[in-house]
C-alpha cells in the first residue's frame, strides 16, 4: 500500500525523524495561508500524488511550464502555483500519458541545504533481512546510481529482533563524511528512527530522498516515501486508514472486495485464471501467440460460482476487452464447479465477446460436458498453447468485425 509524501512525513515524525515544517492545502487560499505562516523567504509547493518523478513531471493545463514540485521565492506566488496544480493532472514517467489528478499540495518551508544524501530501508530478499541503504548521491535517481556505481551504495543489514545498532548508524555517518559533532547527536537518531518506523509499521520500503544536511548541521527528511506490506495491515489499523482510494485503480479496488487478485493491463484479451503463477504464464503465452492481455486475474483456490461471476463482471468493465480466455488447472478447485460458474456468468451478463475455455485437472470431463451442453458459444481449447492461439484469433476477428460494422 502506498501513501502520500505528507503522510509519510507524519509517520516518520512520530519516530523522531526531523522533517521540515509543512502544511497540506486543498485550495489556493489555504496554500497561501500556510506559506505565510512559515515566514521563510522561500517555500516549496509539492503536488501530492502517489506517482514518483514529480519534479521532472508536467502539470497539464498550467499557464506556464510547471512540474509537480515548485520552489517559490515570493510568498504571493504560492496562490497562483497552487491554483495551477490543484484540480489539474500531473504527468510523470510513472503515471502514463493520462496523468493523475492533483487534489492536495504540500507547502513546506525553504531550507539552507548544504548536502543531499539518500537513505532507504527495504527487504533484502536474498538474505531474508531488512537492509538500510545509504548514498552520498542524494536527490539522484538511486536506481541509476545502483546500476552505474554500485560501490557508492553503503549497506547495513538489520536483525529484526535488535533493530539497527548505534555502531552501524555511526559507521554510515563517518563513511558519508557527516560532521563528527553531528553524527551521534543528529544523524544516528534520524537513521535509527527511520529503521524503527520501517520495522514497527510493517513497511515494505521506507525511503528518504533526499536526506538533507543543513548549513547549520541539522539533518532532515526533505522528501519521504513509504510503502506498506498489505499482508500486515490487519495489525496496522492506523496505517490502513492512510489509504487514499482516489489514487488507486477503481477496478482493482472492486476486485479486492471479491477476494480477487486483479491488475489492469493495456491489451484486449481478458484473462480469468486460477493461481498467480499460471495467471502470469497465461498473460505470457497470449503475448507469445501475438496478442496482448487486458488484465492479470487470479480467482484463487476456493472460487465459487459467485466469485467467477464477479470476475467476469470485473473483466468486462474494461471496454477494450475483445475476447476472454479462461484457463483453469483444477486441483482442489474442481473443473465442473468452474464450468458451472462460467456458464452462469455468461448467461447472467449476456456475454457478447468470444470466450475460449481451457480446463484441465480434477473433474475435467464433467466440466467440459457442462460447457458443451450449455448451448453457449464457448470455444474449447485442449491445452494452453491451443487456448492462446484461439483467443488471439477470436480477438482479431472481433476487432475486424468492429471495424467492418
Query: Measured from the CB of residue 252, what is the shortest distance to other proteins in angstroms?
Result: 9
118 is catalytic: yes
- What strands, in cross-sheet order, belong to the sheet with 69-72? 22-25, 105-109, 43-47, 69-72
Q: Is 209 in the site for other proteins (CB under 8 A)?
A: no
Per-residue contact string for residues 268-307; x = within reach of other proteins by CB under 8 A: -----xxxxxxxxxxxxxxxx----x--x-x--x------
Residue 265 to residue 298: CA distance in whole angstroms? 14
Near other proteins by CB under 8 A: residue from 123, 140, 154, 214:
123
Radius of gyration, alpha carbons of the chain: 26
As given in the structure block, the three cell numbers for residue 283 are: 498473460
Q: Is 235 in the site for other proteins (CB under 8 A)?
A: yes
Mapped onto helix, strand or coil, the DSSP state of residue 238 is helix
H-helix or E-strand spanning residue 189: helix 188-200
Give the closest residue to 176 by CA, choosing from 222, 210, 199.
210
Strands 355-361 and 323-330: parallel
Q: Which stretch binds other proteins (CB under 8 A): 124-132, 185-193, 339-347, 365-373?
A: 124-132
Residue 106 to residue 99: CA distance in whole angstroms? 19
Q: Which is nearer to other proteins, 3 or 24 (CB)?
A: 3
Residue 178 near residue 217, CB atoms below 8 Å: no
Near other proteins by CB under 8 A: residue from 26, 33, 179, 202:
202
Query: Measured from the CB of residue 283, what is the shortest distance to other proteins in angstroms?
Result: 4
Long-range contacts of 265-268 (CB under 8 A, 24+ apart): 265/292, 265/293, 265/294, 265/295, 265/296, 266/292, 266/294, 266/320, 267/291, 267/292, 267/293, 267/294, 267/320, 268/292, 268/294, 268/320, 268/321, 268/322, 268/323, 268/395, 268/399
288 is catalytic: no
Q: Is 93 in the site for other proteins (CB under 8 A)?
A: no
Q: Please list every residue from 158 through 177 that binds other proteins, using CB under 8 A.
A: 159-161
Q: Is 130 in the site for other proteins (CB under 8 A)?
A: yes
Residue 342 to residue 81: CA distance in whole angstroms? 52
Q: Which is nearer to other proteins, 48 or 274 (CB)?
A: 274
* Size, binding site for other proteins by CB under 8 A: 58
Q: Which stretch binds other proteins (CB under 8 A): 125-133, 184-192, 346-354, 397-405?
A: 125-133
Q: Which is nearer to other proteins, 45 or 51 (CB)?
A: 51
As given in the structure block, the three cell numbers for residue 249 are: 485503480
Query: Measured from the CB of residue 10, what is the shortest distance to other proteins in angstroms?
Result: 21
Residues making contact with other proteins (CB under 8 A) = 94, 123, 125-126, 128-130, 142-143, 146-147, 159-161, 199, 202, 204-205, 229-232, 234-235, 261, 263, 265, 273-288, 293, 296, 298, 301, 329-332, 360-362, 383-385, 388
* Active site amino acids: 118, 207
Amino acid at each position: 500500500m502506498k501513501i502520500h509524501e505528507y503522510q509519510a512525513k507524519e509517520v516518520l515524525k512520530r519516530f523522531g525523524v526531523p522533517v521540515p515544517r509543512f502544511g497540506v492545502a486543498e485550495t489556493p487560499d489555504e496554500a497561501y495561508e500556510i506559506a505565510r505562516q512559515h515566514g521563510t523567504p522561500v517555500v516549496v509547493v509539492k503536488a501530492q500524488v502517489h506517482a514518483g518523478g514529480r519534479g521532472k513531471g508536467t502539470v497539464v493545463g498550467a499557464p506556464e511550464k510547471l512540474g509537480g514540485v515548485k520552489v517559490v521565492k515570493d510568498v504571493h506566488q504560492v496562490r497562483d502555483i497552487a491554483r495551477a496544480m490543484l484540480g489539474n493532472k500531473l504527468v510523470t514517467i510513472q503515471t502514463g500519458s493520462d496523468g493523475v489528478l492533483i487534489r492536495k499540495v504540500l507547502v513546506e518551508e525553504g531550507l539552507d541545504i548544504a548536502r543531499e544524501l539518500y537513505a532507504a530501508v527495504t527487504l533484502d530478499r536474498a538474505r531474508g533481512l531488512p537492509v538500510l541503504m545509504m548514498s552520498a548521491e542524494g536527490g539522484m535517481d538511486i536506481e541509476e546510481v545502483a546500476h552505474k556505481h554500485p560501490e557508492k551504495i553503503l549497506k547495513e543489514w538489520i536483525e529484526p529482533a535488535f533493530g539497527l545498532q548505534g555502531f552501524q548508524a555511526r559507521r554510515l555517518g563517518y563513511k558519508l563524511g557527516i560532521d563528527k559533532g553531528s553524527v551521534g547527536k543528529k544523524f544516528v537518531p534520524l537513521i535509527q528512527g527511520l529503521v524503527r518506523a520501517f520495522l514497527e509499521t510493517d513497511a515494505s520500503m521506507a525511503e528518504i530522498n533526499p536526506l538533507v544536511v543543513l548549513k547549520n548541521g541539522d539533518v532532515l527528511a526533505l522528501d519521504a516515501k513509504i510503502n506498506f506490506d498489505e499482508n500486515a495491515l490487519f495489525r496496522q489499523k492506523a496505517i490502513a486508514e492512510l489509504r487514499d482510494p482516489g489514487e488507486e485503480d477503481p477496478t482493482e479496488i472492486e476486485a479486492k472486495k471479491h477476494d480477487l487478485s486483479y491488475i489492469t493491463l493495456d491489451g484486449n484479451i481478458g484473462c480469468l485464471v486460477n493461481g498467480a503463477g499460471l495467471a502470469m504464464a497465461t498473460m505470457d503465452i497470449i503475448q507469445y501467440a501475438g496478442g496482448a492481455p487486458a488484465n492479470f486475474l487470479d480467482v484463487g483456490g476456493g472460487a465459487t460460482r459467485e466469485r467467477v461471476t464477479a470476475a467476469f463482471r470485473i473483466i468486462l468493465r474494461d471496454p477494450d476487452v475483445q475476447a476472454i480466455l479462461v484457463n483453469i488447472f483444477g486441483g482442489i478447485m474442481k473443473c465442473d464447479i468452474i464450468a458451472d460458474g462460467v456458464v452462469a456468468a455468461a448467461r447472467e451478463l449476456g456475454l457478447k465477446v468470444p470466450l475460449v475455455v481451457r480446463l484441465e485437472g480434477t473433474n475435467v470431463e464433467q466440466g467440459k460436458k457442462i460447457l458443451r451442453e450449455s448451448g453457449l458459444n464457448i470455444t474449447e481449447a485442449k491445452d494452453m498453447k491451443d487456448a492462446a492461439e484461439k483467443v488471439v484469433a477470436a480477438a482479431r476477428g472481433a476487432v475486424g468485425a468492429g471495424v467492418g460494422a
